[in-house]
Structure 1
Amino acid sequence: MISKPGHDPEVSLLAVTVDLVIFTVRGDELHILVVERGIEPFQGAMALPGGYVRPGETLDEAAERELREETSLEGSALHLEQLRAYSEPERDPRGRVITVAYLALGPDMPPPVAGTDAREAVWVPVASVLGGGTELAFDHATILRDALEHARSQLEHTTVAAKFCPEPFTVGELRRIYEVVWGFKLDPSNFRRKMTRAEAFLEPTGEQRFPDVGRPAALYRRGSARFLVPPLLRTAASRDDAHVHPG
Protein backbone atom coordinates (compact mmCIF):
# COMPACT_ATOMS: atom_id res chain seq x y z
CA MET A 1 0.00 0.00 0.00
CA ILE A 2 1.47 3.39 -1.01
CA SER A 3 0.56 6.48 0.99
CA LYS A 4 0.83 9.77 -0.91
CA PRO A 5 2.91 12.47 0.72
CA GLY A 6 0.53 15.38 0.21
CA HIS A 7 2.25 18.71 -0.40
CA ASP A 8 5.21 18.38 1.94
CA PRO A 9 8.35 17.89 -0.24
CA GLU A 10 10.26 16.46 2.74
CA VAL A 11 7.86 13.52 3.08
CA SER A 12 8.74 10.67 0.72
CA LEU A 13 6.42 8.03 -0.67
CA LEU A 14 6.02 5.26 1.86
CA ALA A 15 5.09 1.62 1.39
CA VAL A 16 3.90 -0.68 4.19
CA THR A 17 4.33 -4.45 4.13
CA VAL A 18 3.87 -7.37 6.50
CA ASP A 19 6.35 -10.22 6.84
CA LEU A 20 5.59 -13.54 8.53
CA VAL A 21 7.91 -15.62 10.68
CA ILE A 22 6.07 -18.95 10.74
CA PHE A 23 7.55 -21.52 13.11
CA THR A 24 6.63 -25.18 13.41
CA VAL A 25 8.33 -28.31 14.73
CA ARG A 26 8.99 -31.02 12.15
CA GLY A 27 11.07 -34.12 12.83
CA ASP A 28 12.29 -32.81 16.20
CA GLU A 29 13.63 -29.60 14.63
CA LEU A 30 12.32 -26.06 14.63
CA HIS A 31 11.45 -25.08 11.07
CA ILE A 32 10.58 -21.81 9.40
CA LEU A 33 8.61 -21.21 6.22
CA VAL A 34 10.57 -19.43 3.48
CA VAL A 35 9.76 -18.62 -0.13
CA GLU A 36 11.89 -18.28 -3.24
CA ARG A 37 11.30 -14.84 -4.66
CA GLY A 38 10.04 -14.84 -8.22
CA ILE A 39 10.56 -11.13 -8.88
CA GLU A 40 13.15 -8.44 -8.27
CA PRO A 41 14.61 -7.33 -6.00
CA PHE A 42 16.47 -10.44 -4.84
CA GLN A 43 14.88 -12.62 -7.52
CA GLY A 44 15.74 -16.27 -6.82
CA ALA A 45 16.70 -15.58 -3.19
CA MET A 46 14.91 -17.04 -0.19
CA ALA A 47 12.83 -14.72 1.97
CA LEU A 48 10.13 -14.64 4.59
CA PRO A 49 6.61 -14.78 3.15
CA GLY A 50 4.79 -11.48 3.13
CA GLY A 51 3.49 -8.70 0.96
CA TYR A 52 2.05 -5.22 0.72
CA VAL A 53 -0.82 -4.12 2.90
CA ARG A 54 -3.77 -3.65 0.56
CA PRO A 55 -6.10 -0.64 0.55
CA GLY A 56 -8.76 -1.07 3.20
CA GLU A 57 -6.77 -3.68 5.17
CA THR A 58 -5.52 -3.44 8.70
CA LEU A 59 -2.11 -4.84 9.52
CA ASP A 60 -3.68 -7.85 11.24
CA GLU A 61 -5.93 -8.53 8.26
CA ALA A 62 -2.97 -8.38 5.88
CA ALA A 63 -0.99 -10.80 8.07
CA GLU A 64 -3.92 -13.22 8.27
CA ARG A 65 -4.39 -13.06 4.49
CA GLU A 66 -0.71 -13.77 3.83
CA LEU A 67 -0.78 -16.61 6.34
CA ARG A 68 -3.82 -18.12 4.65
CA GLU A 69 -2.26 -17.80 1.20
CA GLU A 70 1.05 -19.37 2.27
CA THR A 71 -0.16 -22.18 4.54
CA SER A 72 -3.86 -22.65 3.70
CA LEU A 73 -4.52 -22.18 7.44
CA GLU A 74 -6.64 -19.56 9.16
CA GLY A 75 -4.99 -17.35 11.73
CA SER A 76 -7.43 -18.65 14.33
CA ALA A 77 -5.83 -22.10 14.02
CA LEU A 78 -2.41 -20.76 15.05
CA HIS A 79 -0.82 -18.41 17.50
CA LEU A 80 -0.41 -15.16 15.55
CA GLU A 81 0.98 -11.97 17.09
CA GLN A 82 2.63 -8.78 15.97
CA LEU A 83 6.37 -8.82 16.62
CA ARG A 84 7.60 -5.31 15.78
CA ALA A 85 8.14 -2.83 12.94
CA TYR A 86 11.36 -2.53 10.91
CA SER A 87 12.02 0.87 9.39
CA GLU A 88 15.68 1.17 8.40
CA PRO A 89 15.67 3.62 5.46
CA GLU A 90 17.78 1.36 3.22
CA ARG A 91 16.20 -1.98 4.12
CA ASP A 92 14.46 -2.31 0.73
CA PRO A 93 16.09 -1.26 -2.59
CA ARG A 94 12.66 -0.41 -4.04
CA GLY A 95 12.37 2.64 -1.82
CA ARG A 96 11.07 3.59 1.62
CA VAL A 97 9.36 0.43 2.85
CA ILE A 98 8.38 -0.15 6.46
CA THR A 99 7.51 -3.72 7.34
CA VAL A 100 5.60 -5.02 10.34
CA ALA A 101 6.70 -8.53 11.27
CA TYR A 102 4.32 -11.12 12.67
CA LEU A 103 5.13 -14.30 14.54
CA ALA A 104 3.02 -17.40 13.84
CA LEU A 105 3.35 -20.67 15.77
CA GLY A 106 1.58 -23.95 15.15
CA PRO A 107 1.80 -27.73 15.04
CA ASP A 108 3.33 -29.60 12.09
CA MET A 109 1.68 -27.83 9.18
CA PRO A 110 0.77 -29.02 5.67
CA PRO A 111 3.07 -28.50 2.67
CA PRO A 112 3.16 -24.77 1.94
CA VAL A 113 1.73 -23.11 -1.17
CA ALA A 114 3.75 -20.37 -2.85
CA GLY A 115 2.03 -17.01 -3.20
CA THR A 116 1.76 -14.91 -6.34
CA ASP A 117 5.27 -13.40 -6.16
CA ALA A 118 7.07 -16.61 -5.12
CA ARG A 119 8.35 -19.55 -7.16
CA GLU A 120 8.43 -21.99 -4.28
CA ALA A 121 7.59 -22.19 -0.58
CA VAL A 122 9.45 -24.64 1.66
CA TRP A 123 10.02 -25.50 5.31
CA VAL A 124 13.69 -25.24 6.31
CA PRO A 125 15.36 -25.84 9.70
CA VAL A 126 15.97 -22.62 11.59
CA ALA A 127 19.46 -23.87 12.43
CA SER A 128 20.26 -24.02 8.72
CA VAL A 129 19.27 -20.40 8.21
CA LEU A 130 21.04 -19.07 11.29
CA GLY A 131 24.10 -21.17 10.45
CA GLY A 132 24.42 -19.61 7.01
CA GLY A 133 23.14 -22.59 5.04
CA THR A 134 20.18 -20.56 3.77
CA GLU A 135 20.61 -16.83 3.19
CA LEU A 136 17.57 -14.59 3.44
CA ALA A 137 16.85 -11.46 1.40
CA PHE A 138 16.33 -7.96 2.77
CA ASP A 139 16.78 -7.80 6.56
CA HIS A 140 14.86 -11.03 7.06
CA ALA A 141 17.71 -12.74 8.93
CA THR A 142 17.49 -10.01 11.57
CA ILE A 143 13.73 -10.41 11.76
CA LEU A 144 14.16 -14.17 12.17
CA ARG A 145 16.65 -13.78 15.03
CA ASP A 146 14.34 -11.33 16.79
CA ALA A 147 11.36 -13.65 16.32
CA LEU A 148 13.26 -16.66 17.64
CA GLU A 149 14.30 -14.85 20.80
CA HIS A 150 10.75 -13.61 21.28
CA ALA A 151 9.37 -17.13 20.86
CA ARG A 152 11.86 -18.47 23.38
CA SER A 153 10.85 -15.77 25.86
CA GLN A 154 7.16 -16.47 25.26
CA LEU A 155 7.69 -20.09 26.28
CA GLU A 156 8.97 -18.87 29.64
CA HIS A 157 5.98 -16.73 30.54
CA THR A 158 2.98 -17.89 28.49
CA THR A 159 1.25 -21.13 27.48
CA VAL A 160 2.05 -20.66 23.79
CA ALA A 161 4.20 -23.82 23.67
CA ALA A 162 1.02 -25.89 23.63
CA LYS A 163 0.13 -24.26 20.29
CA PHE A 164 2.91 -26.35 18.74
CA CYS A 165 1.21 -29.59 19.84
CA PRO A 166 -1.64 -31.29 17.99
CA GLU A 167 -4.29 -32.20 20.56
CA PRO A 168 -4.36 -34.36 22.54
CA PHE A 169 -0.70 -34.45 23.57
CA THR A 170 1.49 -35.86 26.32
CA VAL A 171 3.70 -33.96 28.73
CA GLY A 172 6.66 -35.59 27.00
CA GLU A 173 5.58 -34.14 23.65
CA LEU A 174 5.20 -30.71 25.25
CA ARG A 175 8.64 -31.03 26.83
CA ARG A 176 10.11 -31.79 23.42
CA ILE A 177 8.72 -28.49 22.11
CA TYR A 178 10.56 -26.62 24.85
CA GLU A 179 13.75 -28.53 24.13
CA VAL A 180 13.58 -27.88 20.39
CA VAL A 181 12.83 -24.16 20.73
CA TRP A 182 15.24 -23.50 23.61
CA GLY A 183 17.99 -25.74 22.26
CA PHE A 184 18.80 -27.83 25.34
CA LYS A 185 17.47 -30.89 27.16
CA LEU A 186 15.17 -30.68 30.17
CA ASP A 187 14.84 -33.08 33.06
CA PRO A 188 11.59 -35.03 32.47
CA SER A 189 10.58 -35.29 36.14
CA ASN A 190 11.13 -31.62 36.92
CA PHE A 191 9.33 -30.57 33.77
CA ARG A 192 6.33 -32.79 34.43
CA ARG A 193 6.01 -31.49 37.98
CA LYS A 194 6.13 -27.86 36.90
CA MET A 195 3.75 -28.24 33.96
CA THR A 196 1.11 -30.25 35.79
CA ARG A 197 1.15 -27.79 38.69
CA ALA A 198 0.93 -24.70 36.50
CA GLU A 199 -2.41 -22.95 36.84
CA ALA A 200 -4.91 -23.93 34.07
CA PHE A 201 -2.13 -24.78 31.59
CA LEU A 202 -2.97 -28.44 30.95
CA GLU A 203 -6.41 -30.02 31.00
CA PRO A 204 -6.41 -33.83 31.43
CA THR A 205 -8.54 -35.71 28.93
CA GLY A 206 -8.78 -38.80 31.13
CA GLU A 207 -7.26 -40.88 28.34
CA GLN A 208 -3.84 -42.42 27.81
CA ARG A 209 -1.51 -43.16 24.93
CA PHE A 210 0.01 -46.63 24.88
CA PRO A 211 3.47 -46.64 23.28
CA ASP A 212 5.12 -49.76 21.87
CA VAL A 213 7.72 -49.54 24.64
CA GLY A 214 7.33 -48.01 28.10
CA ARG A 215 4.47 -46.98 30.31
CA PRO A 216 1.20 -45.42 29.15
CA ALA A 217 1.27 -41.62 29.01
CA ALA A 218 -1.61 -39.39 30.12
CA LEU A 219 -3.13 -37.17 27.41
CA TYR A 220 -3.87 -33.47 27.81
CA ARG A 221 -5.41 -30.60 25.92
CA ARG A 222 -4.68 -26.89 26.20
CA GLY A 223 -6.18 -25.25 29.26
CA SER A 224 -7.71 -21.80 29.55
CA ALA A 225 -4.63 -19.98 30.86
CA ARG A 226 -2.75 -17.56 28.64
CA PHE A 227 0.12 -17.01 31.04
CA LEU A 228 2.33 -19.63 32.65
CA VAL A 229 2.01 -19.34 36.44
CA PRO A 230 4.58 -19.77 37.82
CA PRO A 231 6.87 -19.06 34.83
CA LEU A 232 9.44 -21.57 33.62
CA LEU A 233 12.62 -19.57 33.16
CA ARG A 234 15.36 -20.80 30.86
CA THR A 235 18.08 -20.04 33.38
CA ALA A 236 16.40 -22.12 36.08
CA ALA A 237 15.51 -24.92 33.64
CA SER A 238 19.10 -25.17 32.39
CA ARG A 239 20.43 -25.26 35.97
CA ASP A 240 17.97 -28.04 36.83
CA ASP A 241 19.16 -30.01 33.85
CA ALA A 242 22.82 -29.47 34.63
CA HIS A 243 22.20 -30.65 38.18
CA VAL A 244 20.50 -33.84 37.07
CA HIS A 245 22.80 -34.52 34.11
CA PRO A 246 26.27 -33.23 35.03
CA GLY A 247 28.84 -32.89 32.29
Structure 2
Amino acid sequence: MRSIYSDQTPLLFAIDCIIFGFDGDQLKLLAIRRGFEPYKGEWSLLGGFVNKNESIEDAAARVLKDLTGLEGIYMEQMHVFSDPKREAKTRIVTAAVFALIDINKYEKQIHKEYHPEWFSINELPNLIVDHDEMVNMAKERLRYKAALHPLLFELLPSKFTIPQLQHLYEEVYNTTLDKGNFNKKILSTGLLVKLKEKDKLGSKKGAFYYKVDVKKYNAGFKSFLNFVHKPTLK
Protein backbone atom coordinates (compact mmCIF):
# COMPACT_ATOMS: atom_id res chain seq x y z
CA MET A 1 0.00 0.00 0.00
CA ARG A 2 1.41 3.38 -1.02
CA SER A 3 2.18 5.68 1.90
CA ILE A 4 0.88 9.24 1.99
CA TYR A 5 4.50 10.26 2.54
CA SER A 6 5.80 8.66 -0.66
CA ASP A 7 5.13 11.68 -2.87
CA GLN A 8 6.70 14.18 -0.49
CA THR A 9 10.00 15.79 -1.42
CA PRO A 10 12.70 14.93 1.11
CA LEU A 11 14.61 17.76 2.76
CA LEU A 12 17.45 18.20 5.23
CA PHE A 13 16.98 19.75 8.67
CA ALA A 14 19.93 21.74 9.98
CA ILE A 15 21.05 23.79 12.98
CA ASP A 16 22.85 27.13 12.76
CA CYS A 17 24.31 28.58 15.97
CA ILE A 18 24.74 32.30 16.59
CA ILE A 19 27.35 32.35 19.36
CA PHE A 20 27.86 35.61 21.25
CA GLY A 21 30.81 36.23 23.55
CA PHE A 22 32.10 39.18 25.56
CA ASP A 23 35.84 39.71 26.06
CA GLY A 24 35.48 42.51 28.61
CA ASP A 25 35.63 45.15 25.91
CA GLN A 26 33.48 44.12 22.94
CA LEU A 27 30.45 41.96 22.24
CA LYS A 28 31.59 39.42 19.64
CA LEU A 29 30.31 36.75 17.28
CA LEU A 30 32.04 33.44 16.57
CA ALA A 31 32.31 32.46 12.89
CA ILE A 32 34.19 29.75 11.00
CA ARG A 33 35.48 29.16 7.50
CA ARG A 34 33.09 26.77 5.75
CA GLY A 35 34.95 23.54 5.00
CA PHE A 36 32.90 22.22 2.07
CA GLU A 37 31.13 23.30 -1.09
CA PRO A 38 29.15 25.33 -1.80
CA TYR A 39 30.70 28.44 -0.24
CA LYS A 40 33.85 26.59 0.83
CA GLY A 41 36.29 28.93 2.56
CA GLU A 42 33.71 31.67 3.19
CA TRP A 43 32.65 32.85 6.63
CA SER A 44 29.75 30.98 8.14
CA LEU A 45 27.93 30.42 11.40
CA LEU A 46 28.65 27.14 13.14
CA GLY A 47 26.16 24.50 12.13
CA GLY A 48 25.28 20.92 11.39
CA PHE A 49 22.38 18.59 10.68
CA VAL A 50 19.70 17.18 12.99
CA ASN A 51 19.97 13.41 13.25
CA LYS A 52 16.82 11.30 13.01
CA ASN A 53 16.91 10.44 16.71
CA GLU A 54 17.53 14.01 17.95
CA SER A 55 15.46 16.96 19.05
CA ILE A 56 16.49 20.44 17.89
CA GLU A 57 17.87 21.15 21.38
CA ASP A 58 19.92 17.94 21.45
CA ALA A 59 21.26 18.59 17.96
CA ALA A 60 22.26 22.16 18.85
CA ALA A 61 24.09 20.96 21.98
CA ARG A 62 25.90 18.28 19.95
CA VAL A 63 26.85 20.70 17.16
CA LEU A 64 28.26 23.18 19.67
CA LYS A 65 30.20 20.42 21.41
CA ASP A 66 31.54 18.88 18.18
CA LEU A 67 32.60 22.13 16.50
CA THR A 68 33.80 24.17 19.48
CA GLY A 69 34.22 21.94 22.53
CA LEU A 70 31.59 24.01 24.36
CA GLU A 71 28.86 22.47 26.49
CA GLY A 72 26.57 23.40 29.34
CA ILE A 73 26.05 26.94 28.06
CA TYR A 74 22.98 29.12 27.66
CA MET A 75 21.26 28.60 24.30
CA GLU A 76 17.81 29.30 22.94
CA GLN A 77 15.99 28.36 19.76
CA MET A 78 15.18 31.52 17.85
CA HIS A 79 13.61 30.97 14.43
CA VAL A 80 13.23 28.47 11.57
CA PHE A 81 14.52 29.56 8.15
CA SER A 82 12.81 27.67 5.35
CA ASP A 83 13.10 29.61 2.09
CA PRO A 84 13.17 26.89 -0.63
CA LYS A 85 15.95 28.78 -2.43
CA ARG A 86 18.23 29.40 0.58
CA GLU A 87 20.57 26.62 -0.62
CA ALA A 88 21.19 26.11 -4.35
CA LYS A 89 21.46 22.33 -4.71
CA THR A 90 19.48 20.86 -1.80
CA ARG A 91 16.40 21.90 0.15
CA ILE A 92 17.63 22.65 3.67
CA VAL A 93 15.46 23.96 6.49
CA THR A 94 17.45 25.28 9.44
CA ALA A 95 16.66 26.20 13.03
CA ALA A 96 18.67 29.18 14.26
CA VAL A 97 19.84 28.98 17.87
CA PHE A 98 21.67 31.70 19.76
CA ALA A 99 24.12 30.92 22.55
CA LEU A 100 25.96 33.03 25.14
CA ILE A 101 29.44 32.24 26.46
CA ASP A 102 32.23 33.74 28.54
CA ILE A 103 35.05 33.96 25.98
CA ASN A 104 37.81 33.79 28.58
CA LYS A 105 36.43 30.61 30.14
CA TYR A 106 36.03 28.67 26.92
CA GLU A 107 38.73 30.12 24.67
CA LYS A 108 41.14 27.17 25.04
CA GLN A 109 38.46 24.61 24.19
CA ILE A 110 37.68 25.88 20.69
CA HIS A 111 38.93 23.49 17.99
CA LYS A 112 41.46 25.25 15.74
CA GLU A 113 40.79 22.91 12.79
CA TYR A 114 37.61 24.82 12.02
CA HIS A 115 39.52 28.14 11.85
CA PRO A 116 37.16 29.90 14.26
CA GLU A 117 37.50 33.63 14.73
CA TRP A 118 35.80 36.16 16.99
CA PHE A 119 34.49 39.28 15.28
CA SER A 120 33.24 42.47 16.88
CA ILE A 121 29.48 42.58 16.49
CA ASN A 122 29.94 45.94 14.75
CA GLU A 123 32.60 44.70 12.31
CA LEU A 124 31.32 41.41 10.93
CA PRO A 125 32.43 39.82 7.65
CA ASN A 126 29.87 38.92 5.01
CA LEU A 127 28.33 35.57 5.97
CA ILE A 128 26.99 32.92 3.60
CA VAL A 129 23.36 32.43 2.52
CA ASP A 130 21.00 34.02 5.08
CA HIS A 131 23.38 33.96 8.05
CA ASP A 132 23.57 37.77 8.18
CA GLU A 133 19.80 37.83 8.64
CA MET A 134 20.10 35.28 11.44
CA VAL A 135 22.70 37.38 13.24
CA ASN A 136 20.61 40.56 12.97
CA MET A 137 17.59 38.73 14.32
CA ALA A 138 19.67 37.29 17.16
CA LYS A 139 20.96 40.75 18.14
CA GLU A 140 17.41 42.06 18.39
CA ARG A 141 16.31 39.01 20.35
CA LEU A 142 19.24 39.41 22.74
CA ARG A 143 18.36 43.06 23.36
CA TYR A 144 14.74 42.17 23.96
CA LYS A 145 15.51 39.29 26.31
CA ALA A 146 18.18 41.22 28.22
CA ALA A 147 15.68 43.98 29.01
CA LEU A 148 13.41 41.46 30.72
CA HIS A 149 15.77 38.80 32.10
CA PRO A 150 19.31 38.85 33.56
CA LEU A 151 20.73 36.53 30.90
CA LEU A 152 23.68 38.82 30.09
CA PHE A 153 25.39 37.43 33.19
CA GLU A 154 25.98 34.32 31.05
CA LEU A 155 28.54 36.37 29.09
CA LEU A 156 30.58 37.30 32.18
CA PRO A 157 33.22 35.48 34.23
CA SER A 158 32.32 34.21 37.69
CA LYS A 159 33.44 37.50 39.28
CA PHE A 160 33.13 40.92 37.68
CA THR A 161 32.83 44.60 38.53
CA ILE A 162 29.76 46.75 38.06
CA PRO A 163 31.64 48.95 35.52
CA GLN A 164 32.35 45.78 33.51
CA LEU A 165 28.68 44.83 33.67
CA GLN A 166 27.62 48.33 32.61
CA HIS A 167 30.02 48.21 29.67
CA LEU A 168 28.48 44.91 28.59
CA TYR A 169 24.99 46.43 28.58
CA GLU A 170 26.30 49.42 26.63
CA GLU A 171 27.83 47.06 24.04
CA VAL A 172 24.62 45.06 23.66
CA TYR A 173 22.43 48.14 23.27
CA ASN A 174 25.02 50.31 21.50
CA THR A 175 24.38 53.16 23.90
CA THR A 176 25.82 55.01 26.92
CA LEU A 177 24.22 54.51 30.33
CA ASP A 178 24.34 56.81 33.34
CA LYS A 179 26.68 55.29 35.93
CA GLY A 180 24.64 56.32 38.99
CA ASN A 181 21.33 55.07 37.62
CA PHE A 182 22.88 51.81 36.43
CA ASN A 183 24.45 51.09 39.83
CA LYS A 184 21.18 51.82 41.60
CA LYS A 185 19.11 49.62 39.30
CA ILE A 186 21.44 46.63 39.21
CA LEU A 187 21.95 46.60 42.99
CA SER A 188 18.19 46.88 43.55
CA THR A 189 17.70 43.50 41.86
CA GLY A 190 19.36 41.69 44.76
CA LEU A 191 21.11 39.40 42.29
CA LEU A 192 24.67 40.47 43.12
CA VAL A 193 26.90 39.42 46.00
CA LYS A 194 29.70 41.86 46.83
CA LEU A 195 33.16 40.33 47.26
CA LYS A 196 36.11 41.62 49.30
CA GLU A 197 38.44 41.65 46.29
CA LYS A 198 38.97 44.68 44.08
CA ASP A 199 39.95 45.14 40.47
CA LYS A 200 42.62 47.86 40.54
CA LEU A 201 43.54 47.78 36.87
CA GLY A 202 41.11 50.55 35.95
CA SER A 203 42.01 52.99 38.74
CA LYS A 204 44.04 53.36 41.95
CA LYS A 205 40.90 53.20 44.05
CA GLY A 206 39.70 50.09 42.26
CA ALA A 207 36.24 48.59 41.91
CA PHE A 208 34.84 45.78 44.03
CA TYR A 209 34.19 42.44 42.39
CA TYR A 210 30.73 40.93 42.52
CA LYS A 211 29.31 37.50 41.77
CA VAL A 212 25.81 36.37 40.90
CA ASP A 213 23.63 34.88 43.63
CA VAL A 214 22.86 31.68 41.73
CA LYS A 215 19.75 30.76 43.73
CA LYS A 216 18.16 34.16 43.23
CA TYR A 217 19.26 34.17 39.59
CA ASN A 218 17.58 30.85 38.89
CA ALA A 219 14.49 31.66 40.94
CA GLY A 220 13.96 35.12 39.47
CA PHE A 221 15.05 34.53 35.91
CA LYS A 222 11.52 35.02 34.56
CA SER A 223 10.84 38.20 36.50
CA PHE A 224 13.62 40.73 36.00
CA LEU A 225 12.90 44.33 34.95
CA ASN A 226 12.88 46.58 31.91
CA PHE A 227 16.51 47.36 32.49
CA VAL A 228 17.42 49.58 29.54
CA HIS A 229 14.25 50.41 27.65
CA LYS A 230 10.78 49.10 26.99
CA PRO A 231 11.21 46.09 24.64
CA THR A 232 9.20 46.13 21.42
CA LEU A 233 10.06 42.75 19.88
CA LYS A 234 7.42 40.06 20.26
1:82 to 70, 77, 88: 77
Aligned partner of residue 116 in structure 2, secondary structure: strand
Q: Take 2:123 and 2:16, find their aligned partners in 1: how far apart are those partners?
A: 20
CA-CA distance at 1:39 after TM superposition: 0.9
1:158 to 146, 149, 152: 149
Q: Take 1:173 and 1:220, find their aligned partners in 2: how far apart are those partners?
A: 10
Name 2:43's counterpart in structure 1. 46
Identity rate, percent:
26
Query: Where in structure 2 are the equivalents of 1:22-171 lying within 5 Å?
Result: 22-26=19-23, 28-74=25-71, 76=72, 78-108=73-103, 109-110=106-107, 112-113=110-111, 118=114, 120-129=115-124, 134-171=125-162
TM normalised by structure 1 equals 0.82
Aligned partner of residue 128 in structure 1, secondary structure: coil
Structure possessing the higher relative contact order (Cα contacts under 8 Å, 6 or more residues apart): 2
2:209 to 172, 196, 219: 219
CA-CA distance at 1:35 after TM superposition: 1.0
1:48 and 1:114, CA in 2 relative to 1: closer, same or farther beyond 3 A? farther
Q: Take 2:7 and 2:85, find their aligned partners in 1: how far apart are those partners?
A: 17
Report the AA paired with residue 74 of structure 2.
Answer: H
Q: Take 1:114 and 1:10, find their aligned partners in 2: how far apart are those partners?
A: 43
TM normalised by structure 2 equals 0.86
Q: Is the 8 A contact 2:147 2:225 kept in 1?
A: no
CA-CA distance at 1:171 after TM superposition: 1.1
1:207 to 179, 190, 196: 196
Shift >6 Å, 4+ stretches:
none
Q: Which runs of 5+ in 2 are unaligned?
A: none
Query: 1:125-150 deviations in whole A, cap 9, x for unaligned?
Result: 22122xxxx11111100000000111
Q: Take 1:148 and 1:72, find their aligned partners in 2: how far apart are those partners?
A: 23
Q: Is the 8 A contact 1:203 1:221 kept in 2?
A: yes
Aligned length: 221
Q: Is the 8 A contact 1:35 1:114 kept in 2?
A: no
Q: Take 1:232 and 1:219, find their aligned partners in 2: how far apart are those partners?
A: 21
Q: Is the 8 A contact 2:22 2:28 kept in 1?
A: yes
CA-CA distance at 1:94 after TM superposition: 2.8
| Cα RMSD for the two superposed structures | 2.2
Q: Which runs of 5+ in 1 are unaligned?
A: 1-5, 237-247
Q: Is the 8 A contact 1:201 1:228 kept in 2?
A: no
CA-CA distance at 1:9 after TM superposition: 6.1
Q: Take 1:61 and 1:8, find their aligned partners in 2: how far apart are those partners?
A: 26
